[in-house]
Amino acid sequence: MSSSGAGTEGNRNSDYGKRRFKRSRSHFTDRITQDGKDGWPVEPGRYRLVVSRACPWASRALVSRRLLGLEDVLSLAVADPVQDDRSWRFTLDPAGEDPVLGIRYLFEAYDARERDYPGGVSVPAVVDVPSGKLVTNDYQRITLDLATEWRDLHRPGAPDLCPEALREEIDAVMEGIYRDLNNGVYRAGFATGQQEYEEAYTDVFRRLDSVTEHLRDRRYLVGDAITEADIRLFTTLVRFDAVYHGHFKCNRYKITENEVLWAYLRDLYQTPGFGDTVDFDHTKRHYYTVHTGINPTRIVPSGPDLSGLTTPHHRERLGGRPFGDGTPPGPPPAAERT
């Protein structure tokens, strides 16, 4: 999610709904790997993950980091959910400065890597602490590498989020969910014309209907345990009723009105590592305050009532083991609790 809006190209906050939506590709695609082939070897304490709790793409990284137990080796910076046209800012921290990187805006790490970089400043981002340079903003790749390249630093009992035997199926499921749902809600919300909106709206609910049937008799998307595919679906579903249903006009039904998806969402939300990374205040304030092109009053709705997320879901009747052969993560560090 870029400072100019969810990875869109060149938009200011006031441009939403006025320019055709286009998600920009990640410009900085270096990888942090065991062999350090891109110049960035996996090292404990060397890198800092920058996120916004409002952003579904960054939330993937938050969930993965928690499930894998990487809190002590990959530090976390949380940006203010209400950014300005300059980029994500660290106004939640004392003196408005990230205490580790010593910067006030995320674009400073981008500038340290590439002066006058013309694209959007997006989260999630991984920054090299010693140099202060951005390493990567490749939101599609970051979590996959956390699950595989960082394996030697995982906590004991960490789940395998990308089992090799299921990798092809996981990739196929994630591709459809990304195209029609993760990205589809943005295409609907930022549409500049009726046909553009209706095409995106159709994609969103066609995919939700398909996922509903897929999950009707199985607990998780692929296999019998949580995988990367579930993480990517969760971060959109958990924002759907609070933001996408109203703000983005994806209003054929709410997730609470879909028996299967509502139970699936509650199941994941109540699983350690998922709901404890969610901040609905950050989420709603970001979308409704920042997207002034489609919400010029900047009024943040009081609803919906989300207390039902903690009610029994009964999905355990379908079998499956949330963490496979692993174990649940411990509680989040006190400083990171939402």
pLDDT in tens, 155-203: 999 999 999 999 999 999 999 999 999 999 999 999 999 999 999 999 9
Q: Is the pLDDT of residue 3 over 60?
A: no
Q: Which of 16, 47, 55, 250 is catalytic?
A: 55
How far CA 77 is from CA of 89, 126, 140, 224, 250, in Å, comes to 10, 10, 19, 33, 31
* Burial (CB count within 10 angstroms: exposed 0-12, middle 13-18, buried 19+), residue 313: middle
How far CA 187 is from CA of 8, 195, 198, 240, in Å, comes to 10, 11, 10, 14
pLDDT in tens, 258-312: 999 999 999 999 999 999 999 999 999 999 999 999 999 999 999 999 999 999 9
How much is the average pLDDT of 69-80?
98
pLDDT in tens, 123-154: 999 999 999 999 999 999 999 999 999 999 99
Residue 2 has what pLDDT? 65
Q: What predicted TM-score, i.e. pTM, was given to this entire model?
A: 0.94
Contacts of 219 (CB under 8 A, 6+ apart): 264, 267, 315, 316, 318, 319, 320
Please give the residue that has the higher pLDDT: either 110 or 5.
110
Active site residue 186: yes
pLDDT band at 80 (very low <50, low <70, confident <90, very high): very high
Residue 64 has what pLDDT? 98
What percentage of the chain carries pLDDT values higher than 70?
Answer: 92
pLDDT in tens, 90-131: 999 999 999 999 999 999 999 999 998 888 899 999 999 999
Please give the backbone phi and psi of residue 135, each rounded to the nearest 5 degrees, phi first. -100, -50
Q: Which of 47, 105, 186, 269 is catalytic?
A: 186
